[in-house]
Amino acid sequence: MAHSRKRVVINIDEHQHADLVVKLHEDGLKQTKIIRAFLDGYLKDDKLIRTFIEKYKETNKVYSKVKRKKQQKMRDKSEKLEELFNLDNKEIDNIFDIIENAHPELK
C-alpha cells in the first residue's frame, strides 16, 4: 500500500527567505533536505533538536514553566523505561499490536 504524501507550507518574509537561501547555499543544502532533516530529528526526539525546542518554548513562553517541567519529567521517565526494558520504538509498536490483536475491543 502506497503512503499518501502531505505538503507542509510556511510563509516567511522576504528578508528571512533571502537569509535562508544564503545559509542553505553556504551549507550546501536544499530547503526540502533541511526541513526533512529537522522533521526526522524532531519525530525521533533527537536530543539536540529537543534542546532547541525546549529553549524555544521557554524563550517564547510556550506553556507555563510548571507544564514544561511536567513534560520534561514525563520524557525522562519514558527514557528510563526504554533503557530499563531496552526497547526501541519498533518493539514498543509490536507490543501494542499484540495487545490490540488479543483485545480488539480496545481499538
The DSSP letter of residue 68 is H
As a whole number, the mean pLDDT across the chain is: 85
* Higher pLDDT, residue 95 or 1: 95
Report pLDDT for 10: 92
Give the pLDDT confidence of 18-68 residue by residue, as tens digits: 999 999 999 999 999 999 999 999 999 898 998 999 889 889 888 787 887
Assigned C-alpha cell, 7: 505538503
Give the pLDDT confidence of 27-36 residue by residue, as tens digits: 999 999 999 9
d(CA 74, CA 70): 6
Rounded (to 5) percent helix, strand, coil in the chain: 75, 0, 25
> Mean per-residue pLDDT for 7-20?
94
